[in-house]
Amino acid sequence: MPAAFVGHGSPMNTLEHNRFTASWAQLGRSLPRPRAILAISAHWFIPATAVTAMRRPRTIHDFYGFPPALSAFDYPAPGAPEVAREVADLIGPAQAGLDHDSWGLDHGTWSILAHMFPRADVPVLQLSIHSGQALDDHLALGARLAPLRERGVFILASGNVVHNLRRIDFARAEAGEDWALRFDEAVNKVMTTDPAALGEVLRHPHFALAVPTPEHFLPLAYLAGLCRAAGAPATAFAEGPTMGSLTMTSYLLGGAVPRVAGGPAGAAALPDPEQVAPEQTNT
C-alpha cells in the first residue's frame, strides 16, 4: 500500500474544489482499497504516543472562526480497533496507549479524506504525535510502522512543510514569500533523494520562519521513516504555496502520483483576519 504526506492547509479545503483538493481526490481514486487508514495529523499533538481504538470515532471540529457549514461537516468513518492493536504492538505496548474515548478524527484527517474517500466507508484511526520527542524519534517510529503497508493499511501523514500563520498575507493567495519557497525547495530535495536525512533541514537558515512550531512539520518525518524502511525516496505532488507563508506540497511513497491539469487554482482561505487572527484559528 502506498503512503503519503499531504499539506492540508485551511480546513475550508474540505468544502472547496481547487487544484490541491483535486489531487487528493485523484490519489484516492488511484489507490487500491485500503483495509484501513492510519492518519498522523498535526492536530493531535500531545505529550504521549496514543492510537485511537474506538469503533465509531467522532468528528472533531478543532478550529475557530469558520462558517457554520464547516462545523456541521461530519465524516462518519468507522474505526479499526484491531488495527489499533497492531499499531501498538509495532510501536511497543509500553510506549503506545490505546485511546478509547478521548480523541477521534480531527480536521487534519477528515479535511483530506473528504476528498480521497468521500463515502467515509474505509475504517480510519489516528496516531498522536508525541510532543516531547525529537524529529529523529518520529522518523524512527515511522520506519517501525512499515509492516502496516504490507497489511493493506494506507498511512496518511497530514501537516504542512511551511506553516507560519503569523506571516499570512491574504493578498498572495497563490504565492509564497522567498524564504518559504527556499525552505520548501530544500525539503523537496531531501524527500525526493534521501528522506532519511530529513533532519538536515533543521539547520536550514529559514527553518525558524518556516517551522515556528513543530506540529505541522513532524508528520513529514513519518513518511521519511517509511521511505527509509522501503529504501526508496518520495515523489512530490500538489506542489505550491498559498497566502505567503504556507506551502501545500505533498509527497507519495509508492503508487501513481496524481497529476491535475487546469481547474480552479489556489488553496482555501482562512477567516477574515479582522474577525479571527490566523494564528487563533488552529489551522
The pLDDT value recorded for residue 261 is 65
Burial class (CB in 10 A: 0-12, 13-18, 19+), 14: buried
Task: Find all residues with CB under 8 Å of 65, minimum gap 6, and list them.
Answer: 270, 271, 272, 275, 276, 280, 281
**Domain limits, the chain:** 3-280
Show the low-confidence residues of the chain (pLDDT under 50).
Answer: none
* Choices 3.30.1330.20, 3.30.465.10, 1.10.3720.10, 3.40.830.10: CATH for 3-280: 3.40.830.10
Rounded CA gap, 121 and 123, in Å?
A: 6
The pLDDT value recorded for residue 279 is 83
* Count helices and strands in the chain by DSSP H and E runs: 9, 14
